[in-house]
Amino acid sequence: MYKNIIRLFMVLVLIPNLVYSNKRGSMETIYLAGGCYWGLEELIRNIPGVEETQVGFSGGHIKNVTYKEVSSGESGHAESIKVIFNNEILKLNDLLFHFFRMHNPTTMNQQGNDIGDQYRSAIFFSNQYQQDTSNKVIEIVNQSKKWDAPIITKVVAFTKFYPAEDSHQKYLVKNPNGYSCHFDRKFDFTE
């Protein structure tokens, strides 16, 4: 009888906790900026292994910044995406290869018709591994010559992320005909 109780305890308590722990233990967060966050978020959130996205702002000097303040070009913030991904399914370098196909990382402070410092290309890293991987991926992308000009994406230490207003979250899900200057180019940077 005690063996059955122990087995039941393992099935109901220990095993689910181990599975949950393993799943959460493989989660990683990085912050990416590549122009207007609406289109970039829509593409990134559909990559297998991406568990959650949230649009907002990073890299500036105003606390609790709003979209209106960022749009003024005076906040120093970039429109950014918080990306939480399962690194057992999606490796950081593969996520970054997607990122470099989805936006033009060779234009200074511009994506399509969107011009301004808030539309710059940046990777906000949280640890040494993310910094090293980001720099290595940029080197590979540059060596591939898939882009006609060198990558100007800044690799910057993450400091703070301010979520955008709710109306901006999953914007293209809410507004399927909304504006986007992002698309997934069929580049293979490792050829």
Which CATH number is 130's domain given? 3.30.1060.10
Report the run of H or E that residue 156 belongs to, with start and end.
strand 154-157
Q: Domain tally for the chain?
A: 1
The pLDDT, as a whole number, for residue 1 is 58
User: Which residues, at least 6 apart from 109, have a Cβ–Cβ distance to it below 8 Å?
Assistant: 115, 116, 117, 119, 120
Q: Which residues are catalytic?
A: 36
Residue 30 belongs to some domain of the structure: yes
Does residue 52 fall inside a structural domain?
Answer: yes
Is 187 within a domain? no
Inter-residue contact 39 to 181 (CB < 8 Å)? yes
Q: Looking at the domain assignment, is residue 188 inside a domain?
A: no
pLDDT at 181: 78
Query: 22, 84, 100: which is closest to 51 by C-alpha?
Result: 84
Q: Give a yes or no: residue 44 inside a domain.
A: yes
Residue 186 located in a structural domain = no
Q: How far apart are CA 60 and CA 78, in angstroms?
A: 7
Instruction: Detail the DSSP E strand segments found in 2-131.
Output: 27-34, 50-58, 78-86, 110-111, 114-115, 121-125
Three-class SS of residue 27? strand
**This prediction's pTM:** 0.84
CB 191 within 8 A of CB 157: no
Specify if 14 maps to a domain.
no
Enclosing domain of residue 92: 25-174
Place of tokens 């402070």: 109
Domain assignment present for residue 185? The answer is: no
Token output for 23: 């799943």
Give pLDDT, residue 94. Answer: 97
Q: Note the pLDDT of residue 167.
A: 86
Q: pLDDT 10s digit of each residue in the chain, 191 long?
A: 555 544 544 444 444 444 433 444 599 999 999 988 888 999 999 999 999 999 999 999 999 999 999 988 889 999 999 999 999 999 999 999 999 999 999 999 888 888 889 999 999 999 999 999 999 999 999 999 999 999 999 999 999 999 999 888 887 788 888 777 777 888 888 87
